[in-house]
């Protein structure tokens, strides 16, 4: 698997705070960068967004497709299921 | 969605099953008419598709979820637009120079959103694979939404600032807007596979981060709440579009090895076309945002050299290499914005936005971001212009420039290995000579000369007398052709273009806000 950087960027707001926290918890190698109005998370090779981790922080059921409301951009091949949204380079 | 499912009810479909039913179950083959007649355009480009079932959508967005989330995005956006208007948010930007980025955006980019709507509607009609059709259809709806939300949001600025009154009319006529217009029309007049490779992959996946991410962060940093909001609302769709682009290219490459050289040539062509178009973004980042987020060179490194590099490493297994002349683009990153701003400083009297010389503190920022080039090559020119202006001789270039036959930008770019020498290339075709700003643009012409000899070059059109309003008599005594062209463009002459410091926008800003014309 390549260790080239994948990234995902969200609007900086209250909706995305628990998402960013969940990503940080599930991806120890992820680096979070703050821009005006935007947060960008870089990770080497692979980054996973887990539904359960978000639900734990949010205190409600979460559909990963809700990510799209606050998504700004991403880079990498995507694999999406009910439980995980994965970005990776092969 | 929190309701527990009935214990003995029908099993809830998984996301993948649900999406498969939408994209596979709803398609059918024609029986009383040949499929090649129903889909007449998806073979002539030479792309060989053996099995459309192999198409994999990464975002499995079903229609119920699409409408739900898109509706939520709209409600968020329009709530903010209301608040913005009710609170005179247009006066909260850092200074009125900033508004010129919106003028460029509304006349140069928003019409491309509408063009993308048309283009994806056509591409969706022309693919015989159902999944590809549905992905294109959703994108066509998204793009129409973007054109509409941008017009709605920026309309508030049109009540207070000049140059925003007729973007559609200008887009179809104005010299520098022929750059984005011809770019998109070039893609739309290709076949459906080239169109999606050009727009979804080369533009959206490889280059669009360079447009939207600095632009939206720049808007936020300069106090423009409305633009941040429409920008991010559009950008949230963009992630889906980018992903479609990557999927399209991987799908085509996996279908047949004969597709590889065709796709590689498209990637070479559309990388260079897109890069030239983004010259407008480079000057916006380095010169037009009063508060700067990052330099063009930094954005190029982050979003093209790093991310684009990772992307092309990923595609190497198909036999795809980096686009031709990517190294030239990287060599030019320390000069691009300065050259483009120079062109617009020359011709701002014929533009629908203002230009200016950066303040001393801004020049310090430019020098720190461009240590190898700015003080040596560009600061002396800007200081000369400033000195001329202080003597009442603000420089405007009264002649019309030669345009590149491919990108249609005035020939102001320099040799890859010498930033002090203008780059000229030419090709002979059918007893005519055609001129180009770069090897990249010349290659594109040489591959498809029959297409590019038809380019509607604004300067040629002016000289041929095609850019005057109906009924105007060019033989009348005292006829001023260039003044007439500005009226044909739909400008309010004396208000829309020219030096910022001399503009009504500047005077209005000071009077209405009590804030300085140039923020310090």
What percent of chain B shows pLDDT beyond 70? Answer: 98
Separation of alpha carbons B254 and B265, rounded Å: 17
Q: For residue B408, is it left (φ>0), alpha (ψ between -120 and 50) or beta?
A: left
| Residue that the structure tokens 């799209």 belong to | A68
Chain A residues within 8 A (CB-CB) of chain B?
2, 4-7, 9, 11, 35-38, 60-61, 63, 65-66, 68-82, 89-90
Question: Residue A5 and residue B65: Cβ atoms within 8 Å?
Answer: no
| Residue that the structure tokens 């119920």 belong to | B64
pLDDT tens, B148-175? Answer: 999 999 999 999 999 999 999 999 999 9
**pLDDT of B317:** 94
Q: How far is B69 from chain A (nearest CA, A)?
A: 6
Q: For residue B317, what is the nearest residue in chain A, using CA coordinates?
A: A90
| Secondary structure letter of residue B516 according to DSSP | -
Are B508 and B501 within 8 A, CB to CB?
no
Chain A residues in contact with B232 (beta carbon < 8 A): 11, 37-38, 70, 72
**pLDDT of B56:** 79
What integer is the mean pLDDT of B122-146? 93
What integer is the mean pLDDT of B461-488? 94
Please indicate whether residue B223 or residue B63 has the higher confidence score (pLDDT): B223
How far does chain A reach from its first CA to its final CA, in angstroms?
5
Are B150 and B434 within 8 A, CB to CB?
no
Helix axes B208-221, B99-108, angle to 10 degrees: 150
Whether the per-residue pLDDT at B309 is higher than 90: the answer is no
Helices (H), B33-189: 35-38, 63-86, 99-108, 110-126, 130-158, 167-171, 178-188
Which of B67, B310, B315 has the highest number of chain A CBs within 10 A, making it the mutation to test binding with A? B310
Which of B20, B232, B238 has the highest number of chain A CBs within 10 A, making it the mutation to test binding with A? B232
Helices (H), B256-359: 259-277, 279-283, 296-299, 309-315, 326-331, 336-347
Domain range for A78 is: 5-88
Q: How far is A11 from chain B (nearest CA, A)?
A: 7
Confidence label for B351 from pLDDT (cuts 50, 70 and 90): very high
Separation of alpha carbons B486 and B469, rounded Å: 10
Q: Which residues of B410-441 are buried (b: 16+ CB within 10 A; e: fewer)?
A: bbbbbebeebeeebebebeeeeeebbbbbebb
Q: CB pairs below 8 Å between A and B: how many?
A: 103
Separation of alpha carbons A65 and B36, rounded Å: 36
Give me B196's structure tokens: 């999606």
Burial bucket for residue A56 (CB in 10 Å: 0-12, 13-18, 19+): middle
Instruction: Enumerate long-range contacts of B4-11, CB under 8 Å, 24 or more apart.
Output: none
Question: Residue A5 and residue B307: Cβ atoms within 8 Å?
Answer: yes
pLDDT tens, B443-454? Answer: 999 999 999 999
Q: Which of B232, B213, B390, B332 is nearest to B284 (CA)?
A: B213
Chain B residues in contact with A38 (beta carbon < 8 A): 213, 216-217, 220, 232
| Length of chain A counted residue by residue | 90
Helices (H), B159-308: 167-171, 178-188, 192-196, 208-221, 225-255, 259-277, 279-283, 296-299
pLDDT tens, A44-78? Answer: 999 999 999 999 999 999 999 899 889 988 888 88
Whether the per-residue pLDDT at B22 is higher than 60: the answer is yes
| Secondary structure letter of residue B400 according to DSSP | P
CATH class of the B59-469+481-513 domain in this structure? mainly alpha
Question: Residue A36 and residue B221: Cβ atoms within 8 Å?
Answer: yes
Q: How far is B217 from chain A (nearest CA, A)?
A: 5
| CB-side neighbour CA atoms (13 Å) of B70 | 20
Separation of alpha carbons A70 and B12, rounded Å: 27
Q: How far is B502 from chain A (nearest CA, A)?
A: 31
Are B294 and B285 within 8 A, CB to CB?
yes
Strands B414-415, B418-422: pairing kind: antiparallel
Are B124 and B136 within 8 A, CB to CB?
yes
Whether the per-residue pLDDT at B4 is higher than 70: the answer is no
Are B152 and B81 within 8 A, CB to CB?
yes
Q: Which of B205, B177, B204 is nearest to B344 (CA)?
A: B177
Question: Residue A81 and residue B2: Cβ atoms within 8 Å?
Answer: no
Measured between CB atoms, which of B16, B220, B235 is closest to A73? B235
Q: For residue B3, what is the nearest residue in chain A, using CA coordinates?
A: A61
Q: What mean pLDDT value characterizes chain B?
A: 93
Whether the per-residue pLDDT at A80 is higher than 90: the answer is no
Separation of alpha carbons B246 and B201, rounded Å: 6
Q: What is the CATH number of the domain that holds A14?
A: 3.90.56.10
Residue B460: other Cβ atoms inside 10 A:
15
Q: Which of B180, B499, B518 is nearest to B350 (CA)?
A: B499
H/E segment holding residue A80: strand A77-80
Separation of alpha carbons A2 and A10, rounded Å: 24
Q: For residue B465, is it left (φ>0), alpha (ψ between -120 and 50) or beta?
A: left
Which of B73, B221, B239, B308 has the highest number of chain A CBs within 10 A, making it the mutation to test binding with A? B239
H/E segment holding residue A77: strand A77-80
Question: Residue B306 and residue A68: Cβ atoms within 8 Å?
Answer: no
**pLDDT of B293:** 86
pLDDT tens, B30-41? Answer: 999 999 999 999
Overall domain count for chain A: 1
Q: For residue B325, is it left (φ>0), alpha (ψ between -120 and 50) or beta?
A: left
Confidence label for B6 from pLDDT (cuts 50, 70 and 90): low
| Residue that the structure tokens 């000069």 belong to | B335
Question: Residue A68 and residue B1: Cβ atoms within 8 Å?
Answer: no
Chain A residues in contact with B310 (beta carbon < 8 A): 2, 4-6, 75-76, 89
Strands of the sheet containing A77-80, edge to edge, are A46-50, A84-88, A77-80
The H helix count followed by the E strand count for chain A is 3, 7
**pLDDT of B207:** 82
Interface of B with A in 309-348 (CB under 8 A): 309-311, 313-314, 317
| Residue that the structure tokens 């029309």 belong to | B185
Measured between CB atoms, which of A61, A70, A80 is closest to B60? A80
Residue B238 touches partner A, C-beta closer than 8 Å: yes
Whether the per-residue pLDDT at B2 is higher than 60: the answer is no
Question: Residue B314 and residue A35: Cβ atoms within 8 Å?
Answer: no
**pLDDT of B495:** 96
**pLDDT of B1:** 47
Residue B216 touches partner A, C-beta closer than 8 Å: yes
Measured between CB atoms, which of A7, A63, A72 is closest to B1? A63
Are B273 and B329 within 8 A, CB to CB?
no
- Every domain of chain B and the residues it spans: 59-469+481-513
Burial bucket for residue B227 (CB in 10 Å: 0-12, 13-18, 19+): buried
Q: For residue A71, what is the nearest residue in chain B, using CA coordinates?
A: B236
**pLDDT of B3:** 52
Question: Residue A71 and residue B236: Cβ atoms within 8 Å?
Answer: yes
Q: How far is A90 from chain B (nearest CA, A)?
A: 6
Whether the per-residue pLDDT at B78 is higher than 80: the answer is yes
Separation of alpha carbons B299 and B278, rounded Å: 12
Question: Residue A68 and residue B228: Cβ atoms within 8 Å?
Answer: no
Q: How far is B54 from chain A (nearest CA, A)?
A: 15
Confidence label for B389 from pLDDT (cuts 50, 70 and 90): very high
């Amino acid at each position: 698997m390549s260790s080239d950087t994948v990234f995902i960027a969200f609007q900086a707001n209250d909706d995305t705070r628990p998402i960013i926290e969940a990503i940080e918890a599930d991806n120890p190698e992820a680096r979070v960068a703050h821009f005006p109005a935007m947060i960008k998370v870089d990770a080497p090779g692979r980054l996973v967004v887990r539904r359960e981790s978000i639900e734990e922080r949010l205190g409600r059921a979460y559909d990963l497709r809700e990510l799209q409301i606050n998504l700004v951009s991403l880079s990498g091949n995507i694999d999406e299921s009910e439980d995980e949204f994965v970005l990776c380079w092969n | 969605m929190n309701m527990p499912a009935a214990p003995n009810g029908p099993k809830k479909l998984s996301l993948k099953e649900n999406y498969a039913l939408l994209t596979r179950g709803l398609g059918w083959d024609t029986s009383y008419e040949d499929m090649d007649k129903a889909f007449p355009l998806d073979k002539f480009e030479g792309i060989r598709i053996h099995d459309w079932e192999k198409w994999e959508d990464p975002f499995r967005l079903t229609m119920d979820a699409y409408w739900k989330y898109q509706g939520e995005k709209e409600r968020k956006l329009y709530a903010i637009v209301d608040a913005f208007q009710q609170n005179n948010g247009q006066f909260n930007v850092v200074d009125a120079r900033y508004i010129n980025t919106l003028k460029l955006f509304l006349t140069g980019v928003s019409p491309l959103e509408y063009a993308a709507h048309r283009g994806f509607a056509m591409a969706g009609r022309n693919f015989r694979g159902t999944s590809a059709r549905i992905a294109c259809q959703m994108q066509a709806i998204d793009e129409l939404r973007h054109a509409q939300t941008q017009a709605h949001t920026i309309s508030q600025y049109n009540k207070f600032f000049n140059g925003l009154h007729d973007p559609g009319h200008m887009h179809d006529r104005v010299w520098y807007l022929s750059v984005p217009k011809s770019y998109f029309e070039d893609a739309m007049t290709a076949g459906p596979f080239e169109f999606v490779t050009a727009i979804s992959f080369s533009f959206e996946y490889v280059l669009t981060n360079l447009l939207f991410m600095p632009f939206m962060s720049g808007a936020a940093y300069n106090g423009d709440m409305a633009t941040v909001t429409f920008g991010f609302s559009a950008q949230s769709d963009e992630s889906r579009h980018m992903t479609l682009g990557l999927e399209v290219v991987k799908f085509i490459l996996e279908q047949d090895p004969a597709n590889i050289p065709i796709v590689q040539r498209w990637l070479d062509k559309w990388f260079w076309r897109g890069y030239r178009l983004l010259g407008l973004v480079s000057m916006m980042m380095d010169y037009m945002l009063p508060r700067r987020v990052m330099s063009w060179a930094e954005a190029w490194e982050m979003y093209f050299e790093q991310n684009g590099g990772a992307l092309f490493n990923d595609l190497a297994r198909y036999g795809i290499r980096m686009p031709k002349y990517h190294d030239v683009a990287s060599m030019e990153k320390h000069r691009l914005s300065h050259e483009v701003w120079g062109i617009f400083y020359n011709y701002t009297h014929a533009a629908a936005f203002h230009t200016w010389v950066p303040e001393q503190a801004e020049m310090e920022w430019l020098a720190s971001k461009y240590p190898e080039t700015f003080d040596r090559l560009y600061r002396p020119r800007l200081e000369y212009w400033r000195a001329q202006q202080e003597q009442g001789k603000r420089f405007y270039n009264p002649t019309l420039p030669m345009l590149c036959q491919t990108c249609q930008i005035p020939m102001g770019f320099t040799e890859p290995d010498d930033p002090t020498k203008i780059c000229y290339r030419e090709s002979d075709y059918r007893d005519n000579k055609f001129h180009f700003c770069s090897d990249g643009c010349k290659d594109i012409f040489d591959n498809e000369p029959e297409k590019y000899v038809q380019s509607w070059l604004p300067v040629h059109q002016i000289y041929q007398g095609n850019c005057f309003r109906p009924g105007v008599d060019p033989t009348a005594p005292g006829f001023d052709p260039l003044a007439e062209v500005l009226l044909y463009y739909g400008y309010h002459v004396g208000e829309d273009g020219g030096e910022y410091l001399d503009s009504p926008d500047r005077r209005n800003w000071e009077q209405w806000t009590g804030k300085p014309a140039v923020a310090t």
